[in-house]
Amino acid sequence: MGRSLVIVVSDDPTVIQKTQVMGTGGNVSVKVYSPEQWNNHMEDKTFRSQLMGQVTGSSLTGATVLPFPSPANGSGSKDKPVSTINDLESMAIRNAIFEYKGNLTEAAKALGIGRATLYRKVKQYNIDPSQARKRGVKAA
Chain segment 118-128, per-residue pLDDT in tens: 999 999 999 99
Q: How confident is the model at residue 73 (pLDDT cuts 50, 70, 90)?
A: very low
Measured CA to CA, the distance from residue 66 to residue 53 in angstroms comes to 19
Measured CA to CA, the distance from residue 102 to residue 132 in angstroms comes to 5
pLDDT at 76 over 60: no
Residue 26: CA atoms inside 13 Å, Cβ hemisphere, count?
A: 11
- pLDDT at residue 121, as a whole number: 93
Residue spans of the domains in the chain: they are 4-73, 85-135
Fold entry, domain 85-135: Arc Repressor Mutant, subunit A (1.10.10)
pTM passes above 0.75: no
Q: What is the DSSP letter of 34?
A: -
Ranges 25-29, 129-133, 135-139, most confident: 129-133
Chain segment 84-120, per-residue pLDDT in tens: 888 889 889 998 998 888 899 999 998 999 999 999 9
